[in-house]
Amino acid sequence: GLVITASHNPVGDNGVKIVDADGGMMSQAWEPFSDALANAPTPDALLQLVLQFAKDEGITLGGAHSAQVLLARDTRPTGEYLLDVATKGISAIVGSVALDMGILTTPQLHWMVRNKNRGLKASEADYFTQITESFRSFVIPARVISHGEHCIIC
């Protein structure tokens, strides 16, 4: 997943946050690779980095869709432009497809990536349904049924 956001920073600091396949934050072990990507001196150097990474990680590229990248953005003015650039970059990797999930918060995209990779529903509406159901189960007290010395919590 990839979220385009400046988060709590000024508008001019808009950038990206990468969501790992498990829905968590990107592992620090990936930072050297992401730094190399961001600082690739030429398009060819960038391509070589991606190809080497795919080889090292056993990622099959080519033909069928081998990777889906869920994208989201915040409402800052540069968000649409950066989303377009990210979509084109992802689509340039053979076998990869970018899925625009819309304007979301970072935690929403984390949840969606996690669910998508578990084969579960992963839309914004599904996110709010789960939040609502979780909140409801938290605030609605359990019923206690007493049977003599025994209590059953329902």
Determine the Cα–Cα distance for residues 148 and 50; give it in Å rounded to an integer.
68
Q: With contact defined as beta carbons under 8 Å apart, do 4 and 16 qualify?
A: yes
Structural tokens at position 39? 């600082």
User: Residue 18 forms beta bridges with which residues?
Assistant: 2
Is 7 annotated in the active site?
Answer: yes
Structural tokens at position 115? 């669910």
Of 7, 34, 91, 134, catalytic: 7
Q: Is 100 helix (H, G, I), strand (E, B) or coil?
A: strand
Catalytically active residues are 7
